[in-house]
Every structure is written in C-alpha cells, then in structure tokens.
C-alpha cells in the first residue's frame, strides 16, 4: 500500500509541474527548408521580447541536449 501512495504522489507532482515546463518551449516538427535541407525535430523556446533567455544565447544551457549557448 505504501508503494502505491508514493507512486500516486509522484504522478500527481509530475502532472502538476508538466504544464510549467511546457510554457517556455515547444516542439518543432522535422521539415525541409526552401533550400532543400532537412531539419530534424527539436524543441525551441517560445518567442518573447528578449533574445538573452534563448537556449542558444551565451550563458544558457539547453536542458534537452546539454549544449551551451554560443550566440551573443
């Protein structure tokens, strides 16, 4: 019975926190560019009025890939 309670609590915590994580980024489907290059599916930050909080900006780390930002 105790394991079930822990599982339920974990599931509830994840269900509550999932929308919070989803607000800052969105999924991008794989597609072919006008030049014919294929872009693999990935996650991207949502648009806003600043560039400094994007995963590719220096000082930030992409939580999905672990790569450090390189753009100024």
The conformation of residue 49, written as its DSSP 8-state character, comes to S
Total domains present in the chain:
1
pTM of full prediction above 0.75: no
Beta strands in 8-61 (DSSP E): 25-28, 31-32, 38-39, 42-45
Q: Exposure string (b/e) for 18-28, b if CB count within 10 Å is 16 or more?
A: eeeeeeebeee
Question: Helical H runs in 1-72?
Answer: 2-22
Q: What is the pLDDT of residues 26-55, one digit of tens each?
A: 899 999 999 999 999 998 878 888 767 778
Does residue 58 sit within a domain?
A: no
Mean pLDDT of 13-36: 74
62 or 32: which leads in pLDDT: 32
Q: Three-state SS for 41?
A: coil
CB atoms within 10 A of CB 69: 15
Domain encompassing residue 31: 2-43
Does residue 65 sit within a domain?
A: no
Does residue 31 sit within a domain?
A: yes
């Amino acid at each position: 019975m105790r394991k079930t309670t822990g599982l339920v609590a974990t599931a509830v915590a994840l269900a509550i926190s999932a929308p919070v994580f989803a607000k800052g980024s969105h999924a991008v489907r794989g597609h072919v560019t006008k030049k014919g290059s294929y872009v693999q599916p990935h996650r991207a930050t949502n648009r806003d009025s600043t560039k400094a909080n994007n995963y590719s900006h220096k000082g930030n780390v992409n939580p999905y890939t672990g790569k450090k930002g390189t753009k100024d």
